[in-house]
Amino acid sequence: MAKIKLPDNSTLEIQVPVAASEIARKISRSLSEDALAVKINGKVSDLDTLITGDCEVQFLTFEEPEGREVYWHSSSHLMAHAIQSLYPEAKFGVGPAIDDGFYYDIDINKTLTPADLEAIEKKMHEIAEKNDAFVRKVVQKDDALKFFREKHDPYKVEIISALDETISFYSEGEFTDLCRGPHVPSAGKLKHFKLLGTSGAYWRGDSNNKMLQRVYGVSFPKKKMLDDHLKMLEEAKLRDHRRLGRELELFVFHDIAPGAPFWLPKGMIIFRELEKFIREELDKRNYLEISTPMLVKKDLWERSGHWGHYKENMFILDVEEETYSLKPMNCPESSFAYNHKIRSYRDLPLRYSEIGRLHRNEISGALGGMFRVRQITMDDAHIYCRPDQILAEIDNIIGLVKYVYELFKFEVSFKLSTKPDDAMGDPKLWEQAESALRQALANNGIKYGVKEKDGAFYGPKIDIQIRDAIGREWQVATIQLDYVMLPERFDLTYIDTDGQAKRPVLIHRAIFGSFERFVGILTEHLAGAFPTWLSPVQAAVLPITDSFNDYAKTVVDALKKEDVRVELDDRNEKVGYKIREWETKKVPYMLIIGQKEKDSETVSIRKHHEGDKGAVKLAEFVSSIKKEIVEKT
């Protein structure tokens, strides 16, 4: 008999060995039907995995992120099976699950069309109906190489040649693929799917390699879930920040500078307002702003550990026979600001903020509008504190995070990212750091998920995710706890109450994450209709005819006097045409000026998406919009 501990801390006693799927059946029929995989002592495995002794067990359904990953990865295999059935000459690269679905990179002697994707979908349904099981088989490296050489698949051969670990195949019907797994029990679990399109992708992201076709898809266990997702994708197209950025004259991109936006005047207003806002909030919280060099010798990165862990993502330059790089992050340089004089325990906490430009050498295939860029403006901060100050400082950061994201009407969730395989430093310090972050989350009554082994190489972190207006989740803010990289490697100290030198603890944190990505997310979240305080143009004044231009200018002057961003539209066009055009520009307020308004010193208000709001005295409107801007309501 073995004791099986379940997520609710209850236990089952069961005769072993037993397949995990049998335990699910004993718990409930619905769980048995919904389970896609099982987590045994923290490791995700197939449902037919044999349990032989005491362990902790969690069954994964589509509701859990790890369950969705298994479902989508299995769907990528189903798609590859269908492609092989229709195009026997196809060769296969990799086919992972991604954040919202799956893809497979294929080498095929034709360019797939939308009609081809429909045919592949049809074949996927035919295969799924057979409900063949996904069967795992462990093979020797030589046998694995022989199998794929006989299939003339150079991509799998290349992958296998570099492996020193256990090699496993998964077979489903007539299709066999190299895969670590796990997978859903059988193809019949894969119910509703849609192939979304194709793109080019260099093998292994290297432009020196062959360009493959990447086929994207998504799948769900229920038709309504698929329908809702496809509806969301259509809405996302309408909200695409690249299109809105161009149409609203916020920012543009050009091949002359891949991965870096050209900010236009209206976009810079948003950028500057966000910058002003975050600075004001940090001033209230006693942060001190610093600025550090952009071009730094490699010695700094060798000392910090980034040269060994992050070099491939850095832009490296040779200057006067020395090697430099553009900084990809601010943290190591902040230590020089800390270390320029002897510190006392009375100096701590010391909160350094820095809004600085960073450069990261993202591969060209990964670039995507504002969401993945090479030039980044980070709202960074590094907080040097004593161990007894950690919880209070993290509490303050969490409060700031909640305030900022609630202001923009984002739903916020938290994840704890734990020690990765390439972690640097003493394991005991990692335990202390993870324990402190868990305590901080508990103190704030925050329910959180865990991202195993997803911490930075120098410390665990709290990752903050937001959900936007159409239900998409985005990774934004982060809180990282560092006992190792800066404190140890840069020999940071403070003189404690006992007169002894002690190591400070460092908290790395960003709120927006990066201005570029945050503005992209915010543009899509709001569909380009920014709140009045952030809108590039806050009011447009529309005289009905030229005879009212003088009063319209009086209105404009009254607003400008209160620093309201206002534009006068005195074109010789019908007012209805002007209204429609300003609606497309998503200006919050349109002020219509005619005879009645001139005589009574009023303005007739139209609000974006809400229409006519009636006439009010000019002074009253100026007061109300000013209040709205100041209070950010």
Specify the CATH number for 66-225; select among 3.40.50.720, 3.40.140.10, 3.30.980.10, 3.40.50.2000: 3.30.980.10
Whether the per-residue pLDDT at 425 is higher than 90: the answer is no
Whether the per-residue pLDDT at 424 is higher than 80: the answer is no
When pLDDT is cut at 50, 70 and 90, the band that residue 452 belongs to is confident
Distance, in Å, from the CA atom of 394 to the CA atom of 10, rounded to the nearest integer, reads: 33
Q: Are 532 and 589 in contact (CB under 8 A)?
A: yes
For the chain, the domains span 2-61, 66-225, 251-525, 539-631
Q: So what's the pLDDT on residue 292?
A: 96
SS3 615: strand
Distance, in Å, from the CA atom of 91 to the CA atom of 151, rounded to the nearest integer, reads: 8
CATH code of 2-61, in short, is 3.10.20.30
Highest mean pLDDT among 429-433, 446-450, 487-491, 496-500: 496-500
Nearest to 233 by CA among 250, 257, 213, 216: 216
Q: So what's the pLDDT on residue 456?
A: 80
Distance, in Å, from the CA atom of 20 to the CA atom of 52, rounded to the nearest integer, reads: 10
| H-assigned helices in 566-633 | 575-584, 595-600, 618-631
Q: pLDDT digits over 307-362, tens only?
A: 988 888 999 999 999 999 999 999 899 999 999 999 999 999 999 999 989 999 98
Q: So what's the pLDDT on residue 453?
A: 84
State mean pLDDT over 161-190. Answer: 94
Q: Are 514 and 377 in contact (CB under 8 A)?
A: yes
Q: pLDDT digits over 93-120, tens only?
A: 999 999 889 999 999 989 999 999 999 9
Nearest to 44 by CA among 30, 62, 58: 58
Distance, in Å, from the CA atom of 207 to the CA atom of 211, rounded to the nearest integer, reads: 8
Q: pLDDT digits over 132-164, tens only?
A: 999 999 999 999 999 999 999 999 999 999 998
Token representation of residue 286: 């006693």
Q: So what's the pLDDT on residue 229?
A: 93
State mean pLDDT over 536-541. Answer: 98
Token representation of residue 597: 């308004």
When pLDDT is cut at 50, 70 and 90, the band that residue 123 belongs to is very high
φ and ψ of 269, to 5 deg? -65, -45
For the chain, counts of helices (H) and of strands (E): 20, 35
Angle made by CA atoms 78, 84, 86, in degrees to the nearest 5:
105
Distance, in Å, from the CA atom of 624 to the CA atom of 618, rounded to the nearest integer, reads: 10
Whether the per-residue pLDDT at 429 is higher than 90: the answer is no
SS3 447: coil
Residue showing tokens 């797939």 = 112
Distance, in Å, from the CA atom of 95 to the CA atom of 89, rounded to the nearest integer, reads: 17
As a whole-number percent, the residues of the chain with pLDDT over 70 amount to: 100
State mean pLDDT over 76-90. Answer: 96
DSSP lists the bridge partners of residue 60 as 37
Distance, in Å, from the CA atom of 476 to the CA atom of 247, rounded to the nearest integer, reads: 25
Q: So what's the pLDDT on residue 365?
A: 63
Distance, in Å, from the CA atom of 158 to the CA atom of 148, rounded to the nearest integer, reads: 10
Contacts for 484 with CB less than 8 Å, ≥ 6 apart = 424, 425, 426, 429, 458, 459
User: In the Cβ-directed half-sphere of 532, how many Cα atoms lie within 13 Å?
Assistant: 22
Q: What is the mean pLDDT of the chain?
A: 93
Q: How many residues does the chain have?
A: 633
When pLDDT is cut at 50, 70 and 90, the band that residue 31 belongs to is very high
Number of Cβ atoms within 10 Å of the Cβ of 250: 26
Q: So what's the pLDDT on residue 306?
A: 87
Domain covering 251-525, topology:
BirA Bifunctional Protein; domain 2 (3.30.930)
Distance, in Å, from the CA atom of 218 to the CA atom of 226, rounded to the nearest integer, reads: 8
Token representation of residue 535: 């809108």
DSSP 259: T
Token representation of residue 507: 């908290």
Nearest to 457 by CA among 304, 285, 604: 304
Token representation of residue 119: 């045919």
Whether the per-residue pLDDT at 57 is higher than 70: the answer is yes
Q: So what's the pLDDT on residue 315?
A: 94
Quote the crossing angle between the two packed helices 390-407 and 265-284, to the nearest 10°. 140
Nearest to 558 by CA among 592, 600, 601, 587: 601
Whether the per-residue pLDDT at 367 is higher than 80: the answer is no
CATH code of 539-631, in short, is 3.40.50.800
Whether the per-residue pLDDT at 68 is higher than 70: the answer is yes
Distance, in Å, from the CA atom of 447 to the CA atom of 390, rounded to the nearest integer, reads: 20
Distance, in Å, from the CA atom of 391 to the CA atom of 631, rounded to the nearest integer, reads: 30
Whether the per-residue pLDDT at 428 is higher than 90: the answer is no
Q: pLDDT digits over 458-474, tens only?
A: 788 999 999 998 888 89
Q: Are 209 and 154 in contact (CB under 8 A)?
A: no
Nearest to 46 by CA among 148, 172, 151: 172
Structure-model confidence comparison of residues 243 and 453, the more confident one: 243
Whether the per-residue pLDDT at 596 is higher than 90: the answer is yes
SS3 66: helix
State mean pLDDT over 2-24. Answer: 91
Distance, in Å, from the CA atom of 266 to the CA atom of 498, rounded to the nearest integer, reads: 55
Q: Are 462 and 454 in contact (CB under 8 A)?
A: no
Number of Cβ atoms within 10 Å of the Cβ of 399: 12
DSSP 54: S
Cα separation of the two ends of the chain: 62
Q: So what's the pLDDT on residue 366?
A: 66
Contacts for 481 with CB less than 8 Å, ≥ 6 apart = 390, 394, 433, 436, 437, 459, 460, 461, 505, 506, 507, 508
